[in-house]
C-alpha cells in the first residue's frame, strides 16, 4: 500500500487556505472543531493492504477527521511505527490478533479501541470482527475527539444492543414527504438512476456516525410502483451509495401489489399465485440488490389494503412475505399501527386486541413494529401495552423523529427525553425491572431479531431537518438505538459539543434547555394526560372543539369528551378497560386516579373539574396552571438562548432565535385557545390572577390552515 501523505497534505493546505463560509447546519454534528491538546496523537494510519469499501470509508474518515482537527496531514503507512493508529480485524492484521482483545462477544458491529503497544511501538488500535465494526469504531474515536478535544481516555469496548437500527422515510415518488417539515424528499426518483446526488453519501456518512445501519426509502402508505423494475433500478443506485457506510436499503411494500402491478385478481396471502408472485418479486429485487434488507408493511390501517380484506390474519400476510424473503436473508417489519372506523373498541386497544392472539404464529424473520405509545406519536402517551405482551414475537420499536404532533420543525422539542421515558418505562410483566428497553433489545424474551426504527425528519433543506435543533433528534435516534441505556442528557451534550462548541458554559445550560423542552410542549399542548387535540388532517395547532368528522376517532373530542361536569377518557374497568392490557401491577395503579401519575390522569380517567389534585388545586385550576407553565418554560428557553450568542455563529444563532420566537407565540396560542374552549365547556371562570385569552373562542375556532406542510 502506497502512502498518500502528499495528497493528504495538499488537501489540508487547500482546506486551510479556502475562504470561510457561514455555518448553515449542513455539516450536522460532523463539524471539525479545534482540539484542546495540541500534541498530535496519530502520525500515520495502518490498515489492510486491500481495504473493502466499508473499511475504506473508515480509514478516510479517520485520516480526514484527525487531520482537520489538528491541522496536520495524516498519511497512511504500511508499517507500524510509534504513534500509529492501527485499524483492522485479526484476519487482516495479525498484529491485532496478537493483542488478545475481547472480540469474541462483539458480533459483526462491535469494536474495541485500545492504546496498546504493537511490536514495541506505541499505537491506538481499533479492532473488530468485521469491517462494519471497524467503521463504528472509527466514528466512536472521532466522536470522543470532537467531544473532549483529545484522545485521552479513548479505551472502550462496545457492541450495539439492537440489530436493526433504521430510518423510515415517509417519502413519496413525487418528492413530497408525508409529515415532512424540511422540504422535499432527498431521493430524486425522477433523475435516478442516471444521476446520483452526492448528498446521498453525506446522508450515509451521518447515519454511520451514529450507528444507523438501514433505511426504508419510501412511505408506509406505499405505492406499488416502488416494486416495479424501473424503481428497483433506482433503489439499487441508492443502495450502492449507502453500502460503503454499512447501510442496507429496505422498501415499504403495498400489500395489493400483485393486483396493482402484477396482473392478478387477488392479493389473498394464501393463494398460491399470490405467493409465487411475491417470491418472484423477491428474486428480482435481490438480483439487483444482493444485500436488500426486506419489507416494511402497513396493512389494514387507515384504508391500506391487507390480509383482513380476505378474512386472513396479520400473521398470514406477514408470513407470506417472510417466506418470499427468507431464501435471501430478508426480514418483514409488520406495523402494529392498526385501527378501524367500523370497530367500536377504544382506538388505543385495537392493536393489542389484534396482535396478542397471534403471538408465536409469525415466521422467524418477522418483527412486529409498534409505535412507542398505543395511539399515535403524541407529546406524551403511556408505553404501548404490546411491549411485554408478546414473548414469542420480536417487537420492534417505532419512534417518530419528525415532529408531526409537536409543532413541526419550528418548535424546539428534544425527543431524546421522550424516548428515554419510554425505554425506561417498567412493563412489570416479570415484576419490577422489566423495562421496555429490555423487550426491545431482546433480553427479556430472548428475541432472535431486534430493532428500533425512527420516522425520519430529513428533507432537502440545507440543514437537513428544517431546523438546527431538529438534528439533535436524528442524532439521538441513532445513539439510543445503539444503546437504549444511554442518558438522553448525555446524548444531548454529545450533540451540542459536536454541533456548536465543547465549552461547558454553553453545553450545560443548553442541555438543560433541551431536556426541559419536551415537558414544555406537553404543558402547552396536552397537559395532564389530554391527547390528540391537534387540528385534524394537518395536525397543526389546537382544535379540541372538533366533533363532527365522519370517523369518531379522528375527532379531538373523542379523546377528551369534555362536558360541563367532567373531562377525560375513562379507560378503567368501568370504561373501555384499556388499562387491563397492562400487567396487573400497572393496571391496578392506573385504574385508580389516586395512584395514577398526573401525567396520565386524563388518559385513563374521566374526572370532575373539581377533582382535587396532588398540588391542592382543582383539576380545572391545575389544567390552567400547566398551560401557563408551558408558555413560561418556552420563555425560559428563549432567555437561555439569548444569553449564549457569543458561543454560536450569527446565522445559526438567529435562526434558532427566530424559531424560539415562533414557538413562544404558538405556545401562547395553544394556551389561549385551549383554556378558552375548556373554560367555555365547563362554564368555569379563570382562576384568580390568570390572564385571559387574547382572542375569543370564536376567533380560534375560525382559524384554518389549508397549506400546512407535510399534509
| Long-range contacts from 10-16, C-beta under 8 angstroms, 24+ separation | 11/64, 11/73, 12/67, 12/68, 12/71, 12/72, 12/73, 15/68, 16/71
Enumerate the CATH 3.30.379.10 domain ranges in the chain, comma separated: 5-158
What is the distance of C-alpha 615 from the center of its chain? 35
Catalytic residue among 346, 376, 426, 628: 376
Residue 560, pLDDT above cutoff 80: yes
Alpha helices in 500-532 (DSSP H): 504-525
Residue 345, pLDDT above cutoff 70: yes
Enumerate the CATH 3.20.20.80 domain ranges in the chain, comma separated: 164-499
The pLDDT of residue 2: 33
Residue 7, pLDDT above cutoff 80: no
The pLDDT of residue 5: 37
Residue 15, pLDDT above cutoff 80: no
Enumerate the CATH 3.90.1330.10 domain ranges in the chain, comma separated: 523-569+606-701
Question: Cα–Cα distance between 6 and 23 in angstroms, integer?
Answer: 29
The reply to whether 376 belongs to the active site is yes
Question: Cα–Cα distance between 533 and 302 in angstroms, integer?
Answer: 19
Distances (CA, A) of 574 to 380, 436, 477, 579: 23, 27, 38, 10
pLDDT more than 90, % of the chain:
94
The pLDDT of residue 336: 98
470 Cβ contact list (under 8 Å, min separation 6): 182, 403, 409, 457, 463, 464
Catalytic residue among 108, 260, 302, 598: 302
Cell numbers 362536558: residue = 563
The pLDDT of residue 342: 85
The reply to whether 485 belongs to the active site is no
Q: What is the pLDDT of residues 500-559, one digit of tens each?
A: 999 999 999 999 999 999 999 999 999 999 999 999 999 999 999 999 998 899 999 999
Q: How confident is the model at residue 3 (pLDDT cuts 50, 70, 90)?
A: very low
Q: How confident is the model at residue 21 (pLDDT cuts 50, 70, 90)?
A: low
The pLDDT of residue 666: 98
Residue 616, pLDDT above cutoff 80: yes
The pLDDT of residue 86: 98
Cell numbers 479505551: residue = 155
Q: Which residues of 223-244 are buried (b: 16+ CB within 10 A; e: fewer)?
A: bbebbbeebbebbbbbbebbbb
Q: Which residues pair with 331 in a beta bridge?
A: 294
Q: SS3 of 156, please?
A: strand
Question: Cα–Cα distance between 165 and 161 in angstroms, integer?
Answer: 10
The pLDDT of residue 6: 36
The pLDDT of residue 19: 37
Catalytic residue among 404, 420, 494, 666: 404
Residue 97 has phi, psi (to 5 degrees) of -60, -30
Q: How confident is the model at residue 192 (pLDDT cuts 50, 70, 90)?
A: very high
Residue 249 CB coordination number (10 Å): 22
Question: Cα–Cα distance between 167 and 464 in angstroms, integer?
Answer: 14
Asked whether 513 and 641 are in contact (CB, 8 A), the reply is yes
The pLDDT of residue 33: 79
Average pLDDT across the chain, whole number: 95
Residue 182, pLDDT above cutoff 70: yes
Q: How far apart are the first and last CA of the chain?
A: 53
Question: Cα–Cα distance between 280 and 284 in angstroms, integer?
Answer: 6
Residue 226, pLDDT above cutoff 60: yes
523-569+606-701: CATH number: 3.90.1330.10
Kind plus residue range of the DSSP H or E element containing 586: helix 584-590
Q: Which residues pair with 85 in a beta bridge?
A: 45, 124
Q: How confident is the model at residue 38 (pLDDT cuts 50, 70, 90)?
A: confident
Residue 18, pLDDT above cutoff 70: no
Q: Which three cell numbers stand for residue 402?
A: 419528525
Q: How confident is the model at residue 374 (pLDDT cuts 50, 70, 90)?
A: very high
Residue 12, pLDDT above cutoff 90: no
658 Cβ contact list (under 8 Å, min separation 6): none
Asked whether 623 and 529 are in contact (CB, 8 A), the reply is no
Tell me how far apart the 2 most distant CA atoms of the chain are, in Å.
82
Residue 8, pLDDT above cutoff 80: no
pLDDT more than 70, % of the chain:
97
In CATH, the architecture of 5-158 is 2-Layer Sandwich (3.30)
164-499: CATH number: 3.20.20.80
Q: What is the pLDDT of residues 641-684, one digit of tens each?
A: 999 999 999 999 999 999 999 999 999 999 999 999 999 999 99
Round the CA-based radius of gyration of the chain to a whole number and report it: 26
Residue 260 CB coordination number (10 Å): 17
Q: SS3 of 399, please?
A: strand
Strands 248-252 and 44-46 come out as unpaired
For 269, left (φ over 0), alpha (ψ -120 to 50), or beta?
alpha
Q: Which residues pair with 84 in a beta bridge?
A: 44, 123
Q: Which DSSP symbol is given to 83?
A: T
Give mean pLDDT, residues 173-195: 98
What is the distance of C-alpha 630 from the center of its chain? 24
Q: How many CA atoms lie within 13 A of 623 on its CB side?
A: 34
Question: Cα–Cα distance between 436 and 387 in angstroms, integer?
Answer: 6
The reply to whether 404 belongs to the active site is yes
Amino acid at each position: 500500500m502506497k502512502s498518500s501523505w502528499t495528497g493528504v497534505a495538499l488537501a489540508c493546505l487547500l482546506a486551510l487556505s479556502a475562504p470561510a463560509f457561514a455555518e448553515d447546519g449542513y455539516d450536522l454534528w460532523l463539524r471539525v472543531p479545534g482540539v484542546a491538546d495540541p500534541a498530535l496523537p496519530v502520525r500515520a494510519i495502518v490498515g489492510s493492504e486491500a481495504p473493502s469499501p466499508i473499511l475504506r470509508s473508515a480509514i478516510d474518515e479517520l485520516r480526514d477527521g484527525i487531520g482537520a482537527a489538528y491541522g496536520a496531514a495524516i498519511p497512511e503507512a504500511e508499517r507500524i511505527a510509534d504513534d500509529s493508529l492501527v485499524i483492522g480485524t485479526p484476519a487482516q492484521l495479525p498484529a491485532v490478533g496478537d493483542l488478545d482483545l475481547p472480540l469474541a462477544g462483539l458480533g459483526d458491529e462491535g469494536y474495541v479501541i485500545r492504546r496498546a503497544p504493537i511490536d514495541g511501538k506505541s499505537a491506538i488500535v481499533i479492532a473488530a470482527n468485521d469491517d462494519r465494526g471497524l467503521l463504528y469504531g472509527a466514528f466512536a474515536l472521532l466522536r470522543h475527539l470532537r467531544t473532549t478535544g483529545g484522545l485521552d481516555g479513548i479505551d472502550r469496548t462496545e457492541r450495539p444492543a439492537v440489530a436493526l437500527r433504521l430510518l423510515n422515510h415517509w417519502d413519496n415518488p413525487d418528492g413530497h414527504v408525508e409529515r415532512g417539515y424540511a422540504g422535499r424528499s432527498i431521493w430524486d426518483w425522477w433523475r435516478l438512476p442516471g444521476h446520483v446526488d452526492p448528498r446521498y453519501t453525506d446522508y450515509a456518512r451521518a447515519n454511520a456516525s451514529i450507528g444507523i445501519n438501514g433505511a426504508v426509502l419510501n412511505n408506509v402508505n406505499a405505492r406499488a410502483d416502488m416494486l416495479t423494475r424501473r424503481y428497483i433500478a433506482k433503489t439499487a443506485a441508492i443502495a450502492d451509495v449507502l453500502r460503503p457506510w454499512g447501510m442496507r436499503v429496505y422498501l415499504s411494500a403495498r400489500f395489493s401489489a400483485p393486483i396493482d402491478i402484477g396482473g392478478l385478481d387477488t392479493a389473498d396471502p394464501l393463494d398460491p399465485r399470490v405467493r409465487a408472485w411475491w417470491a418472484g418479486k423477491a428474486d428480482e429485487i435481490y438480483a439487483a440488490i444482493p444485500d436488500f434488507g426486506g419489507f416494511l408493511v402497513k396493512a389494514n390501517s387507515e384504508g391500506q389494503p391487507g390480509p383482513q380484506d380476505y378474512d386472513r390474519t396479520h400473521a398470514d400476510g406477514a408470513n407470506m412475505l417472510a417466506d418470499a424473503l427468507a431464501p435471501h436473508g430478508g426480514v418483514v417489519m409488520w406495523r402494529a399501527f392498526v385501527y378501524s372506523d367500523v370497530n367500536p373498541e377504544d382506538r388505543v386497544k385495537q392493536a393489542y386486541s389484534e396482535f396478542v392472539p397471534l403471538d408465536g404464529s409469525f415466521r422467524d424473520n418477522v418483527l412486529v413494529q409498534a409505535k412507542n405509545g398505543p395511539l399515535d406519536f403524541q407529546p406524551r402517551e403511556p408505553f404501548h401495552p404490546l411491549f411485554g405482551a408478546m414473548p414469542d414475537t420480536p417487537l420492534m420499536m417505532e419512534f417518530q423523529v419528525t415532529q408531526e404532533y409537536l409543532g413541526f420543525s419550528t418548535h424546539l422539542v428534544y425527543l431524546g427525553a421522550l424516548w428515554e421515558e419510554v425505554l425506561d418505562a417498567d412493563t412489570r410483566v416479570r415484576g419490577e425491572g422489566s423495562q421496555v428497553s429490555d423487550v426491545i433489545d431482546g433480553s427479556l424474551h430472548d428475541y432472535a431479531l431486534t430493532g428500533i426504527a425512527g420516522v425520519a425528519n430529513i428533507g432537502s433543506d440545507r440543514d437537513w431537518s428544517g431546523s438546527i435543533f431538529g438534528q439533535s433528534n436524528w442524532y439521538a435516534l441513532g445513539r439510543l438505538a445503539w444503546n437504549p441505556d444511554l442518558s438522553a442528557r448525555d446524548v444531548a451534550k454529545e450533540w451540542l459539543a459536536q454541533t456548536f462548541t465543547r465549552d461547558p458554559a454553553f453545553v450545560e445550560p443548553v442541555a438543560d434547555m433541551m431536556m426541559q423542552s419536551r415537558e414544555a410542549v406537553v404543558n402547552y399542548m396536552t397537559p395532564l394526560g389530554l391527547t390528540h387535540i391537534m387540528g385534524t388532517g394537518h395536525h397543526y395547532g389546537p382544535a379540541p372543539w372538533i366533533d363532527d368528522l365522519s370517523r369518531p376517532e379522528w375527532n379531538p373530542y373523542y379523546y377528551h369528551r369534555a362536558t360541563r361536569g367532567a373531562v377525560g377518557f375513562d379507560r378503567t374497568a368501568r370504561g373501555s378497560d384499556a388499562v387491563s392490557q397492562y400487567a396487573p401491577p400497572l393496571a391496578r395503579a392506573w385504574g385508580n386516579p389516586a395512584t395514577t401519575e398526573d401525567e396520565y390522569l386524563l388518559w385513563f380517567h374521566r374526572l370532575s373539574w373539581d377533582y382535587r389534585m396532588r398540588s391542592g388545586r382543582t383539576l380545572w385550576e391545575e389544567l390552567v396552571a400547566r398551560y401557563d407553565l408551558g408558555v413560561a418554560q418556552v420563555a425560559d428557553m428563549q432567555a437561555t438562548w439569548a444569553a449564549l450568542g457569543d458561543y454560536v455563529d450569527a446565522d445559526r444563532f438567529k435562526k434558532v432565535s427566530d424559531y424560539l420566537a415562533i414557538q413562544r407565540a404558538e405556545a401562547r396560542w395553544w394556551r389561549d385557545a385551549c383554556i378558552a374552549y375548556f373554560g367555555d365547556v365547563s362554564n368555569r371562570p379563570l382562576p384568580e390572577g390568570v390572564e385571559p385569552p387574547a382572542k375569543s373562542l370564536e376567533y380560534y375556532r375560525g382559524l384554518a390552515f389549508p397549506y400546512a406542510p407535510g399534509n
